[in-house]
Structure 1
Amino acid sequence: MHVDEYPILIDQLCPGLFVRLETATDIGSLPKKAFKITNAEQIEEIRRLGIRHVICISDKSDRLPISLEELDKQADPGLSGRPAKAFKTPVSLELLGLKRETIARNKERRDRFAACEKRYDDAVSQVVGVLKKAAKPSDAVLDAAREMVDSLVNTFLSDLDVVVSLMTTKPREETRNYHALNVTVLSLMLARELGLGKSQMHDLGMGALFHDVGKGRVPIQRFTKGNMTTLNRVVREYYREHPVLGAKIVSAFPDFPPAALDVVLKHHETLDGQGFPSGLTAEDIPVLARIAAVADAYDTLCNRRDEVGFATPHEALRAMYGKKTSLDQMLLASFIRNIGVYPPGSIVELSSGLTGMVVSSSPKASFRPSVLVHHPDIPRKEALLIDLTIEEDLKILRALRPEELPREVFAYLNPVRRANYYVDTLPPA
């Protein structure tokens, strides 16, 4: 049953509700089987028909039904002729208090997130094409990269609100392509918050897109004896060289922006001089490279498995905040403000007892994101999105790790191991 239509008890009726009398064979003096209640007399007429419940159609109603909790406070449940706690509707007690605006906006939001996911998949395909051909620099590859970055930059420079959404795509083999796109998107998000101009954002986007292009297989000639100690040492050394190798690759492109090349070369330099490849200190690291470093650190933490597992978005931010000597703290503070204290992908428990996954956050209300909630009575494909900026009475109690979820809740929310982000522009609410 769709969330916009659900059964309610006769005692929950009030003027302003649009109802359908599914079980009635005779509607008496009522206008029709489906109509909007305008007065108390119509409620009494429905009661005289002897039916126990009607179907409430919320998207045609002016308000929500009287909640069961409110009825229990008003009268002794034994007097109303209804079972006190036995009756459960598909939107049940904990959801009946939601504002009509929340329920009415859900289909529109689901459609937007679906469109957003489609654009993300298309963008990943473009990244695959660009990075696979990067080893042979050409005007065509550079033009394809510019076109993609231009599209993202133009999105960010619009006057519309920006939402960073978690895309529930399945894990794929092209890990580095996901990472390249995510770092590009997150870097541009931060650049927009800082008010960078279109030219700087374009340079940043190009640098972020190619920031790991120097990564690849370790050449066999780098090994001497082939034992594991040598293997681990060579892999570490080769990893620390990838910014230089990447800069060499992109410098072969005709007219590759110098500021973008700096991002490729210097995104692993740290403010305390402990980074690589050159051990630069704060004053020698360009701001675009510092921005890319913040985005790279966040996406790497969310998508890299360690002995504990994958870091949750909330844990990733906490870990980054602890790197006070390496990451630019001003940029990090702006990043957290923009992506939210509970970033997309965070699993949270709400004060109503519901569990959900954050799908979007606004810089204007970082503690009050939009949450896709689990509810056993609502089909997964129609899962309810609750905007906490609308539902002021609800709040997040705590963040959860995915492994803490019961199996059915995990399957419903489908928290992905690889966190993907895409930028969507939404009209003002």
Structure 2
Amino acid sequence: MHIDEYPILVEQLCPGLFIRIDEPGLTHPFPAKGFKLKSEADVAKVLSLGLAHVFCVPDKSDRLPISLEEVDGMSGKPQKGPWTAARTPVSAELSSLKRETIERNKERLERFANCERRYAKAMDKVVEAIKRVSSPSAEVLEAAGEVVGPMADVFLSDLDVLINVMTAKMREEAKHYHALNVAVLSMMLAKELGVGKTDIEEVGLGALFHDVGKGRVPIQRFSKGSMLTMNKVLKEYYMEHPKIGAKMLAAVPGFPTAAQSLVLQHHEHIDGSGFPARLAGSAISLGARIASVADAYDRFCNGKDGEEGVTPHEAMKALYKHRAFYDPKAVTFFIRKLGVYPPGTLVELSNGMQGMVVSANMRDSMRPSIKVYHPDIPKREALIIDLVIETELTVIKALKPVELAPDVLHYLNPGRQVSYYVDAAPRT
């Protein structure tokens, strides 16, 4: 079903609108089924009735109503009324959307807000767990389990599973975002590869701590002119960080052996070109093969140690280009699940609207949910279009931030740091 009409303020009236008056008991000279305003005189006649609002019929109108922002500016204060609960659709391209999209938008926005709050709490636990590794105790595993356990339950639930993009607020070092990203994406991939719950949790634990050895690389004092020597030493220590991390985690009581192997081997390549042991093929544990794909993708997205990352769409293409380094089945399943347009990708839809992918649909990766820009819809009420519902719409291309107008970019607010979290929604 399409939206046939929606309420607007009488202050939004202008020539070219087709409207309907729905005021029982009110006597007026206009057709009950609606009419088009042909001139300012027609607008004045409607205003003389003393109404607060009327209904606009977009399919029969020649133009859009005056925007609410313009009305607010003319009156000096925000307007309130029954129209505020149904501010969309406000234009022809939105009027073709199904009622379910409009009616469920508030629920979707609330779900994303709740997910963002859970993400913030998970990040607190990630920071705590990583810091505790320096003094190995059972509390390390407990803190990490509070992050990994609930995510494993979601992936194994009977609900639709979504991977949501978060607007990361840079309050800690980027490594903590990277750790959580790799854990989320690794657990998703493990689930798709048919791994059981216990193994999924072990993959999550290992992925969460995969780079913990990096922070223990010693920095020595070098004399002037020894920059090449310093760089060589730092590279050698960098290549040792998987061993250092695995050794640290071996000291944590109860830390799973499989998770330690993931940490030790996550930089090994399927072709034997990786480090620290140059393992190849099945000699690399399944958990490490999974995490290496997630790690590479997130590094492409967010860059390495301060480098500029690329868009999620470009990151997916880069992963495919370098697929010879990774388990081919893992790469195939990863791309199939996140889709060609992963969360965080800026896109243009077939109706001309621009937006950002906010969640990947695990049931149909080519039909994600997209937050779209519209100048007449406040940013806090931004419309989220689920392409599973809007079957007539498609993504026609991915966009780079420089291709968007400044106001569109500000509205969509793509984060400099692309971060993910898992969420679930009941099947519809």
User: How does the TM-score come out when normalised to structure 1?
Assistant: 0.83
Q: Residue 171 of structure 1 contacts residue 417 of structure 1 at CA under 8 Å; is this kept in 2? A: no
Q: CA deviation at 1:363?
A: 3.0
CA distance 1:247–1:88, shift in 2 (3 Å): same
Retained in 1: the 8 A contact 2:350–2:393? yes
- 1:419 maps to 418
Q: CA deviation at 1:12?
A: 4.5
1:141-194 CA deviation, whole Å, 9 max, x = no partner? Answer: 222222332222112111111000011132233211111111111111111112
Deviation of 1:375 after TM superposition, in Å, equals: 0.9
Task: Tell whether the 8 Å contact from 1:222 to 1:234 is kept in structure 2 after alignment.
Answer: no
Cα deviation for residue 364 of structure 1 reads 2.8
CA distance in 2, matches of 1:316, 1:147: 30
Q: CA–CA distance in 2 between the matches of 1:350 and 1:229?
A: 50
Name the CA shift for 1:389/1:29 in 2 (closer, same or farther; >3 Å). Answer: same
Compared CA separation, residues 405 and 254, structure 1 to 2 (3 A)? same
Whether 1:248 aligns to 2:247 is yes
**CA–CA distance in 1 between the matches of 2:294 and 2:35?**
62
Decide whether aligned partners of structure 1 residues 5 and 243 sit closer, same or farther in structure 2, where only a CA change above 3 A counts.
farther
Stretch moving more, 358-367 or 174-183: 358-367
**Matched residues in 2 for 1:325 and 1:46: separation?**
63
Counterpart residue type for residue 384 of structure 1: L
| Counterpart check, 1:158 vs 2:153 | no
**1:223 CA drift (Å):** 4.8
Tell me how far apart the structure 2 counterparts of residues 412 and 339 of structure 1 sit (CA, whole Å): 24
SS at match of 1:390: coil
| Aligned CA distance change for structure 1 residues 87 and 41 (closer, same or farther; 3 Å) | closer
1:344-390, Cα deviation, whole Å (9 max, x unpaired): 10000112221100001213322221110111111111111111122
Mapped to 2, the partners of 1:144 and 1:66 lie a distance apart of: 55
* Contact 1:223–1:234 (CA under 8 A) maintained in structure 2: no
Tell me the equivalent position of 2:259.
260
Which piece of structure 1 moves more, 136-145 or 100-109? 136-145
How far did 1:295 drift?
0.8
User: Structure 1 stretch 138-147 or stretch 391-400: which is displaced more?
Assistant: 138-147
Check whether the contact 1:171–1:416 (CA below 8 A) recurs between aligned residues: no
Residues 210 and 44 (structure 1), Cα distance of their counterparts in 2 relative to 1, 3 Å cut: closer
1:67 equivalent to 2:58? Answer yes
**Residues 5 and 366 (structure 1 numbering): CA distance in 2 closer, same or farther, change over 3 Å?**
farther
2:80 corresponds in structure 1 to: none
Residue pairs, 1:14-413, within 5 angstroms: 27-28=26-27, 42-43=32-33, 50-51=45-46, 55=53, 66-68=57-59, 71=60, 84-85=62-63, 87=65, 91-216=90-215, 218-221=217-220, 223=222, 227-304=226-303, 309-413=308-412
Identify if the C-alpha distance between structure 1 residues 45 and 317 changes in structure 2 by more than 3 Å, giving closer, same or farther. closer
Seen in structure 2, the aligned counterparts of structure 1 residues 195 and 175 have a Cα distance that, compared at 3 Å, is same
Q: TM-score, normalised by structure 2?
A: 0.83
* SS of 1:221 mapped into structure 2: coil
SS in 2 for 1:216: helix
Q: Which amino acid aligns with 1:137?
A: P
Report if the CA contact (8 A) 1:317-1:336 is conserved. yes
Q: Is the 8 A contact 1:224 1:230 kept in 2?
A: no
- The number of residue pairs the alignment matches comes to 391
CA distance in 2: counterparts of 1:346 and 1:264, whole angstroms: 29
Measured on the aligned residues, the alpha-carbon RMSD in Å equals: 3.1
Cα pair 2:19 2:36 within 8 Å, conserved: no
Preserved CA contact (<8 Å) 2:302 2:308: no
**Conserved 8 A contact 1:20-1:55:** no
CA contact (8 A) 1:340 1:363 kept: no
1:322–1:245 CA distance, 2 compared to 1 (3 A): same
Runs of 5+ in structure 1 lacking a partner?
A: 31-39, 58-64, 73-83
Q: Tell whether the 8 Å contact from 1:361 to 1:370 is kept in structure 2 after alignment.
A: yes
Question: 2: distance between equivalents of 1:277 and 1:243?
Answer: 7
- The verdict on how the C-alpha distance between 1:159 and 1:86 changes in structure 2, with shifts beyond 3 A counting, is closer
Distance 1:398 1:101 in 2: 25
After superposition, give the CA deviation of every residue in 1:20-48 in whole Å (9 maximum; x if it has no partner).
Answer: 66xx9x82289xxxxxxxxx974269999
Contact 1:160 1:428 (C-alpha < 8 Å) held by counterparts: yes
Contact 2:313 2:342 in 1 (8 A): yes
- Summarize deviations over 1:116-154 as a string: whole Å, max 9, x none: 000000000001111011011011222222233222211
Amino acid paired to 2:112: F
Native 8 Å contact 2:179 2:209 kept in 1: yes
